[in-house]
C-alpha cells in the first residue's frame, strides 16, 4: 500500500509539473482556467497556455530591453562588460551568416534575425536550469495551481517559433525569385515537366518538413531534459541517501544541460540561416 501511494504521488507530481496553466472554454460553455490535464485537453485547439505565453513574451521584452540599452549606451572607447558580451553574440550571428548564407544574395536582415532567434531560444531554454519547484511553488502561494516556466517545452511555442521562420522562408522565396520562378521550383524539379504532380508532392513535403523538423527538434530535446529534471526531483521525497544522490544527479544534469540548451539554440539559428539561404538561391 505504501509503495502504491508513493507511486501515485510521484505520478501526480510529474503530471502536475508537465501541465500548463490553460485558459479556454469548458464543456458547459463557460470560459476559465483548467483544473487539471484532462480538463485542459478537453478545451481543444482554442485553449491558451497562459504560462507559456507570459514567459515567452516576458523573455522577449527582457532581450529587447538589454539590447536597446546597450545600443543607446554604446561606447567604442570604454565598452561595458554587457556591451562586449552583446557584441560577441552579434559576431557569432554575423560569422554564422557569412559562412552559411548564399554569396550571391545580399540581405542585411539575416544576421540580426539570426541573433534574435539565437538569444530568444536560448533564454527560453535557459529557464530549464531553474529548479523545477521554485517558481511553481511561489505561484501556488498566490492561488495559481499550474506554472510551466520553460516555453520551449511547450510544443505550441516551439512550432510557433518554427512557423515564424517558415513564413520568412515563403516571403523571401516569393520576393527574391518571384511567384513564377518559385512555382517552377516546386513543380519542375527534380524530374522535369512530365512529372509535375509527383514533383509538387515531393517539394511540398520537403518544404513543410522544414518547420516541423525545426520545431519538433527543439521541443523534443527540451521536453526530455525537463522531464529528467522532474524525475530527479522525485528522489528527494524518498529518504536522505536517495535524496543526496538526487542532488548530485541534479547538479550533473544541470551542468550537462548547459551544453544542451546552448546547442539547441545554435542549431535553431543555423537552420534558420540555411533555410533562408535556400530561399534566396535560384535554381
Task: Point out the residues that are catalytic.
Answer: 213, 217, 221
CA 190 to chain CA mean position, Å? 33
DSSP structure class, residue 35: S
Q: CA-CA distance, 1 to 5, in Å (whole number)?
A: 6
Alpha carbon separation from 146 to 5, 64, 179, 222 (Å, rounded): 22, 27, 47, 19
| Distant-in-sequence, close-in-space partners of 217: CB < 8 Å, separation ≥ 6 | 264, 267, 268
Grid look-up 524539379 returns 189
Query: How many CB atoms are closer than 10 A to CB 176?
Result: 17
Closest by CA position to 264, among listed 69, 96, 118:
118
Amino acid at each position: 500500500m505504501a509503495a502504491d501511494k508513493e507511486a501515485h504521488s510521484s505520478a501526480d507530481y510529474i503530471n502536475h509539473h508537465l501541465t500548463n496553466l490553460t485558459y479556454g472554454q469548458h464543456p458547459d460553455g463557460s470560459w476559465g482556467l483548467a483544473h487539471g490535464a484532462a480538463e485542459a485537453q478537453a478545451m481543444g485547439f482554442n485553449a491558451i497556455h497562459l504560462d507559456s505565453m507570459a514567459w515567452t513574451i516576458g523573455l522577449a521584452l527582457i532581450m529587447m530591453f538589454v539590447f536597446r540599452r546597450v545600443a543607446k549606451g554604446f561606447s567604442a572607447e570604454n565598452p561595458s562588460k554587457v556591451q562586449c558580451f552583446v557584441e560577441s553574440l552579434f559576431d557569432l550571428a554575423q560569422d554564422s551568416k557569412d559562412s552559411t548564407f548564399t554569396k550571391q544574395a545580399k540581405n542585411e536582415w539575416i544576421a540580426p534575425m539570426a541573433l534574435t532567434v539565437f538569444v530568444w531560444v536560448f533564454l527560453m531554454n535557459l529557464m530549464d536550469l531553474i529548479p523545477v519547484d521554485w517558481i511553481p511553488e511561489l505561484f501556488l502561494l498566490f492561488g495559481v495551481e499550474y506554472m510551466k516556466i520553460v516555453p520551449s517545452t511547450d510544443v505550441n511555442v516551439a512550432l510557433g517559433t518554427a512557423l515564424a521562420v517558415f513564413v520568412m522562408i515563403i516571403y523571401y522565396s516569393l520576393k527574391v525569385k518571384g511567384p513564377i520562378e518559385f512555382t517552377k521550383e516546386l513543380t519542375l524539379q527534380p524530374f522535369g515537366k512530365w512529372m509535375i504532380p509527383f514533383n509538387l508532392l515531393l517539394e511540398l513535403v520537403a518544404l513543410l518538413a522544414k518547420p516541423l523538423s525545426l520545431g519538433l527538434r527543439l521541443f523534443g530535446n527540451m521536453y526530455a531534459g525537463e522531464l529528467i529534471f522532474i524525475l530527479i526531483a522525485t528522489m528527494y521525497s524518498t529518504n536522505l541517501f536517495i535524496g543526496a544522490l538526487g542532488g548530485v544527479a541534479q547538479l550533473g544534469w544541470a551542468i550537462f544541460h548547459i551544453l544542451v540548451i546552448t546547442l539547441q539554440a545554435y542549431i535553431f539559428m543555423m537552420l534558420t540561416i540555411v533555410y533562408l539561404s535556400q530561399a534566396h538561391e535560384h535554381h
